[in-house]
Amino acid sequence: MEFSSTLSLPHDSKSLPFLPQEIIFEILLRLPVKTLLKMKCVSKSWLSHISSPQFITTHLKLSANNQELSHHRLLFSNSDEIKNDALTFYTCSLYSIMYQESPVIRIELDFPGELPFDYEYRIFGSCNGLFCISNDDYEDLFLWNPSIRELKKLPCSGIDVGELDFLEFRGVGFGYNECQTDYRIVEIVGVDHSKHGNLCYVSVYSSRINSWKSIQGYPGFIFFTDSGKFVNGRLHWIAFLDCGSYTNVHFLISSFNLLDETFGNVALPDTVDESHDLALGTSRGYLYVSSRYGTKTDVWLMKEYGLARSWTKLVSYTSSKVVKPIFISQDDKILLQLATSLVCFNSRDNTIRLPGNQIRCYSDIDCTFSLYIESLVSPNSLEDV
């Protein structure tokens, strides 16, 4: 990788040694976002370099591929701590939760102004450090990077949910079309009109043009999950085919390809059926599904995308509380959400570890704990990428 030679390290040549430009670049690329934001103030050349698309992209790739999870974090909020009629968001290190023995300390996110979220919000996914988040009964959508404290309100999709009769489901997913360097949001709304029967509206947002467009060819599925999971260039939802009856339904995973904007499907594990409470997730680029029946929850991982026989059961966990997987590590440790708290479960020796009482979440919403990677990607500069 080549860099401009205009970047220089401000110093007194009599007191500090000279560092080659290549070494300076490599050091900067490995610094956390919080430090890089301070480094922008060192000089105009550093500001220009750290703000460049090339640096932001390279820094993001290094952070995402870091096996020590040093740039991976967990976002959550707590309903008991409302300040100025707004939710307080917290973040903590994923590595600390997974591997440190001492209690994990939460850090309150520092924002220059109040976020427009009160008691209700919903996160529809995170990608490259950005969150797709909504408030006000999900009428408005935002792109938000908590690492650099930037928020962007998106234009209306054109689907007026408030005006639709008998809303059956609303699925929203957030992902990235790498071939076109374009962040995409897919909104799928199913309604039961008294006069027109079942109708479905599909709209796709493109960050490059900052606008939405309608999509045809919806396969007629009804979604059971509202937050699409992004894997292998596609968004995924738990769904079943609308046959006009809720009896003898067949569950599957519905997918939407962000590159060619077509729908597809992925088979669930053979032992999963409609009597189970299903939840879909992603971890390290793999698709997983948790299947709860009674007090037992099975966690399945698809080791080869699209191949049904590659579904592998990682763990069976028994608890009277609802169990939701959050993260699956390379060494078979699984971060689980139990109601409003977290448990780190080692599937190799069936031991558990608690990260501490500070890591508790807002209990009145579904998507409470959200993983993200620290990044410099600005939601307000995506049209320039």
Cα distance between residue 258 and residue 347, in whole Å: 34
The answer to whether residues 265 and 345 belong to one domain is yes
The answer to whether residues 21 and 98 belong to one domain is no
The answer to whether residues 176 and 323 belong to one domain is yes
The amino acid at 14 = K
61 assigned to some structural domain: no
385 residues of the chain, pLDDT tens digit each: 444 444 555 555 455 567 787 888 888 999 999 999 999 998 888 899 899 999 999 999 999 988 778 899 999 886 555 555 567 788 999 998 888 877 788 888 876 566 676 667 788 999 999 999 987 666 789 999 999 999 999 998 887 665 555 667 788 999 999 999 999 999 988 876 555 556 788 999 999 999 999 988 777 777 777 789 999 999 999 988 755 555 566 788 999 999 999 999 999 998 887 778 888 999 989 999 999 988 899 999 999 999 999 999 988 888 888 788 999 998 888 998 887 788 888 888 888 888 877 777 755 455 478 999 999 999 999 875 5
Cα distance between residue 352 and residue 343, in whole Å: 6
Cα distance between residue 272 and residue 249, in whole Å: 13
The answer to whether residues 26 and 120 belong to one domain is no
39 assigned to some structural domain: yes
- Dihedral (C-alpha) 186, 192, 195, 200: value to the nearest 10 degrees? 20
64 assigned to some structural domain: no
The answer to whether residues 95 and 8 belong to one domain is no
Which tokens is 359 given? 């890591």
The answer to whether residues 117 and 4 belong to one domain is no
The answer to whether residues 47 and 76 belong to one domain is no
67 assigned to some structural domain: no
Which tokens is 75 given? 């976002």
The answer to whether residues 149 and 31 belong to one domain is no
The DSSP letter of residue 362 is: -
C-alpha distance from residue 95 to each of 24, 99, 190, 208, 216 (Å): 26, 6, 39, 33, 43
Burial per residue of 23-36, b for 16 or more beta-carbon CB atoms within 10 angstroms, e otherwise: ebbeebbeeebeeb
- Residue 44: which domain range? 1-51
CATH code, domain carrying 188: 2.120.10.80
The interaxial angle of helices 53-64 and 21-29, nearest 10 deg, is 60
